[in-house]
């Protein structure tokens, strides 16, 4: 046999298209060529594969070796094709049986000794493989009565270090291996003890210990606002002088969020897998990302070649903290507009396009002016009106309009600071948040922040008194239609926390206080 064909997967954003690895051995001067739009990492696999085969005591063929990665117009990157290329050479040269290769897919980077190293995107690849298997079965089932049975689902052979995340996909048949020799023994032997065994995931997340809200002295309004935000998945901007507890509140916020569902955990893990950032210990723990204000637009939303997810995608189904918000470059902040509204980001480049999920909860914090003491009870602001306006205008009106809640965090009086903290613990707040969260899921199947316009009209209709006060607020505060709808969703969340079926005027009034924009204060 001089030709071997194996299956693998590439990565294109969150997608993992199938790649056919064709290895051909021909007579002629010895050479090793890889075609099919390989990136530098793939081209370098020639040296890794040669050394791995020789150190594993296989014979490296002194022939003309051609490896084709199809389809030819799909860019191929990283070292995940090392394993299928090495196995293809062994099968084409007759050093390994090739009769079972069609039932498997392969991915793994080889060390020079033949050990398998972890790869990026293992979860995305097994998810795509199981989806393709389901689609193949469905297409067979929709055919004529004489159609042949659907092919059996393929198994996926990959490095043992990726087994936990790859097997999180239900019905994925994952066979982890430690080395190239283990994979070869699987195909060369029929004895059970030398065959690779299916990996059963046992994700055991370690409870993440968050700082407790009881440590924060005072700031009852800010704590209440964050409770509302956690219950309805609303974005928050905390505004106040230095040292008032904005960062303390934001750091404790993840401790009151509702638990993740299996689907949310799988979505979050798939994004983390694209950067080698996922581990089984993080299963069902909401991500918490806090980039520095020097972060670029590409670091925040994603990009590069090939496109990689940015901070907003790595915070998918979790929290994105932007501390010192005006210190971020304005052009960087403006890229948040579309993801805040749509929950995803599309990275477009000349050669390819990638779509990443970005349904994150934004928690931002800022000072009211450059010196920080505008409105302080005991310290005088030294900034000019023009300086204050320039500082606050770093946050554009359209971006501010997309932030559900803008909360003032005033300085705590000295007498209160000297007292012992006796605030409400996070566990009690989290219990109320989870109860309101379950109420929303049972009523509409999603959190209030994700309601569409038609769903707002159906689920968020206030009483007549609430409607009147909302109309008055729209007139005096010059709200847009978006501001009106976000206030209604806030009122719905406040009513859910109170266990009320209908939105009353008190719920609307509290929501209006949370929607007062930075420039209205």
Sequence ranges of the domains in the chain: 3-139+153-194, 213-426, 451-521
Structure tokens at 351: 């050669």
Q: What is the pLDDT of residue 150?
A: 38
pLDDT tens sequence across 501-514 = 999 999 999 999 99
As a whole number, mean pLDDT of residues 406-428 equals 81
Query: Is the backbone of residue 317 left (phi > 0), alpha (psi -120 to 50) or beta?
Result: left
As a whole number, mean pLDDT of residues 275-302 equals 87
Residue, of 435 and 164, whose pLDDT is higher: 435
Q: Is the pLDDT of residue 521 over 60?
A: no
pLDDT tens sequence across 300-309 = 999 887 788 9
Q: What is the pLDDT of residue 319?
A: 96
Q: Are 384 and 339 in contact (CB under 8 A)?
A: no
Half-sphere exposure of 182 (CA within 13 A, CB side): 18
Fold of 3-139+153-194: Ribosomal Protein S5; domain 2 (3.30.230)
* Backbone φ and ψ of 320, nearest 5°: -115, 115
- Note the Cα 207 to chain centre separation in Å: 20
Q: State how far the alpha carbon of 292 is from the alpha carbons of 203, 210, 259, in Å.
A: 31, 21, 27
Q: Are 394 and 178 in contact (CB under 8 A)?
A: no
Query: Taking CA 387 as the corner, what is the angle to CA 385 and CA 392, rounded to the nearest 5 degrees?
Result: 95
Q: Is the pLDDT of residue 147 over 50?
A: no
Band (149; pLDDT cuts 50, 70, 90): very low
Q: What is the pLDDT of residue 205?
A: 60
pLDDT tens sequence across 455-483 = 999 999 999 999 999 999 988 888 889 99
Q: What is the pLDDT of residue 211?
A: 85
Q: What is the pLDDT of residue 145?
A: 39
pLDDT tens sequence across 238-259 = 999 998 889 999 999 999 999 9
Q: What is the pLDDT of residue 413?
A: 79
Query: Hey, CA dihedral for 372, 377, 379, 383, is it positive or negative?
Result: positive
Rounded distance between C-alpha atoms, residue 48 and residue 45, angstroms:
5
pLDDT tens sequence across 272-283 = 888 876 777 778
- Pairing state of beta strands 288-289 and 302-303? unpaired
Cβ burial of 342 (10 Å; 0-12, 13-18, 19+) is exposed
As a whole number, mean pLDDT of residues 365-374 equals 92
Q: Which residues contact 242 (CB under 8 A, 6 or more apart)?
A: 367, 372, 373
Indicate the angle between helix axes 505-514 and 481-497, nearest 10 degrees: 120
Q: What is the pLDDT of residue 263?
A: 87
Q: Are 329 and 280 in contact (CB under 8 A)?
A: no
Length of the chain counted residue by residue:
521
Q: Among candidates 46, 51, 58, which has minimal Cα distance to 82?
A: 46
Q: Are 491 and 469 in contact (CB under 8 A)?
A: no
Q: Strand, coil or helix: what is 389?
A: helix
Q: What percent of the chain has pLDDT over 70?
A: 93
Structure tokens at 127: 């998810």
Q: Which residues contact 508 (CB under 8 A, 6 or more apart)?
A: 462, 466, 467, 469, 470, 487, 491
Band (353; pLDDT cuts 50, 70, 90): confident
As a whole number, mean pLDDT of residues 444-452 equals 93
Q: Are 63 and 126 in contact (CB under 8 A)?
A: no
Q: Is the pLDDT of residue 144 over 50?
A: no
Query: Taking CA 477 as the corner, what is the angle to CA 473 and CA 483, rounded to the nearest 5 degrees?
Result: 80
Q: Strand, coil or helix: what is 510?
A: helix
* Backbone φ and ψ of 222, nearest 5°: -65, -40
Q: Strand, coil or helix: what is 306?
A: coil
Rounded distance between C-alpha atoms, residue 208 and residue 216, angstroms:
19
Residue keyed to tokens 């696999």: 45
SS (H, E, C) 433-472: HHHHHHHHHHHHCCCHHHCCHHHHHHHCCECHHHHHHHHH
- Note the Cα 105 to chain centre separation in Å: 25
Q: Is the pLDDT of residue 170 over 50?
A: yes
**Rounded mean pLDDT of the chain?**
89
> Considering just the CA atoms, what is the radius of gyration of the chain in Å?
28
| CATH no. of 451-521 | 1.10.8
Q: What is the pLDDT of residue 243?
A: 87
Q: What is the pLDDT of residue 134?
A: 63
Q: Is the pLDDT of residue 44 over 80?
A: yes
pLDDT tens sequence across 175-231 = 999 999 999 999 998 787 889 999 887 666 666 678 889 888 888 899 999 999 999
Average the pLDDT over each of 267-276, 429-438, 462-471 and give the range with the smallest value.
267-276
Indicate the angle between helix axes 82-92 and 180-188, nearest 10 degrees: 40
Q: Are 333 and 399 in contact (CB under 8 A)?
A: yes
Query: Hey, CA dihedral for 489, 494, 499, 505, is it positive or negative?
Result: negative
Q: What is the pLDDT of residue 224?
A: 95
Residue, of 521 and 394, whose pLDDT is higher: 394
Q: Is the pLDDT of residue 312 over 60?
A: yes
As a whole number, mean pLDDT of residues 101-126 equals 94
- Pairing state of beta strands 104-106 and 155-159? parallel
Query: What are the strands, taking DSSP E only, across 264-386?
Result: 288-289, 302-303, 308-309, 319-322, 344-348, 353-357, 361-366
Q: What percent of the chain has pLDDT over 90?
A: 68
| CATH no. of 213-426 | 3.40.50.300
């Amino acid at each position: 046999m001089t030709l071997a064909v194996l299956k693998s997967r590439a990565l294109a954003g969150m997608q993992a298209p199938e790649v056919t690895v064709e290895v051909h051995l021909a007579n002629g001067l010895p050479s090793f060529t890889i075609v099919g739009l390989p990136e530098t990492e793939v081209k370098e696999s020639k040296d890794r594969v040669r050394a791995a085969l020789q150190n594993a005591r296989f014979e490296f063929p002194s022939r003309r070796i051609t490896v084709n990665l199809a389809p030819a117009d799909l860019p191929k990157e990283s070292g995940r094709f090392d394993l299928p290329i090495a196995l293809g050479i062994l099968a084409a040269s007759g050093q390994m049986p090739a009769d079972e290769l069609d039932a498997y897919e392969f991915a793994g980077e080889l060390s020079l000794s033949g050990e398998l190293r972890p790869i990026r995107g293992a979860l995305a690849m097994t998810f795509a493989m199981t989806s393709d298997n389901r689609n193949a079965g469905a297409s067979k089932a929709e055919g004529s009565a004489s159609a042949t049975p659907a092919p059996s689902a393929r198994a996926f052979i990959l490095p043992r270090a990726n087994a936990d995340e790859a097997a999180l996909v239900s019905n994925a048949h994952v066979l982890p291996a430690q080395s190239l020799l283990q994979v070869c023994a699987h195909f060369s032997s029929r004895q059970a003890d030398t065959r690779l065994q299916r990996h059963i995931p046992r994700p055991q997340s370690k409870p993440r210990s968050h700082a407790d809200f009881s440590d924060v002295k005072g700031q009852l309004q800010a704590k209440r606002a964050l409770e509302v935000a956690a219950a309805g998945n609303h974005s928050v901007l905390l505004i106040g002088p230095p040292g008032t507890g904005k960062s303390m509140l934001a750091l404790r916020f993840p401790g009151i969020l509702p638990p993740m569902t299996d689907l949310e955990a799988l979505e979050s893990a798939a994004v983390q897998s694209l950067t080698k950032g996922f581990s089984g210990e993080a299963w069902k723990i909401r991500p918490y990302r806090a980039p520095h204000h020097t972060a670029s637009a590409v670091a925040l939303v994603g990009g590069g070649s090939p496109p990689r997810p940015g901070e907003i995608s790595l915070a998918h189904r979790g929290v994105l903290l932007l501390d010192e918000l005006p210190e971020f470059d304005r052009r960087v902040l403006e890229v948040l507009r579309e993801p805040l509204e749509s929950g995803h980001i599309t990275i477009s480049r000349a050669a390819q396009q990638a779509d990443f999920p970005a349904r994150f909860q934004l928690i931002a914090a800022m000072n009211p002016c450059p010196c920080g003491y505008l409105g302080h009870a005991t310290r005088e602001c030294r900034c000019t009106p023009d300086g204050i306006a320039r500082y606050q205008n770093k946050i554009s009106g359209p971006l501010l309009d997309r932030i559900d809640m803008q909360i003032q965090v005033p300085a705590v009086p000295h007498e209160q600071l000297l007292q012992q903290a006796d605030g409400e613990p996070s566990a009690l707040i989290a219990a109320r948040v989870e109860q309101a969260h379950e109420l929303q899921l049972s009523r509409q199947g999603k959190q209030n922040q994700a309601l569409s316009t038609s769903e707002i009209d159906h689920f968020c209709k206030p009483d007549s008194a609430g409607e009147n006060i909302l109309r008055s607020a729209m007139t005096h505060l010059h709200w847009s239609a978006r501001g009106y709808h976000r206030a209604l969703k806030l009122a719905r969340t406040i009513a859910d926390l109170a266990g009320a079926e209908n939105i009353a005027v008190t719920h609307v009034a509290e929501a209006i206080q949370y929607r007062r924009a930075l420039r209205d204060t």
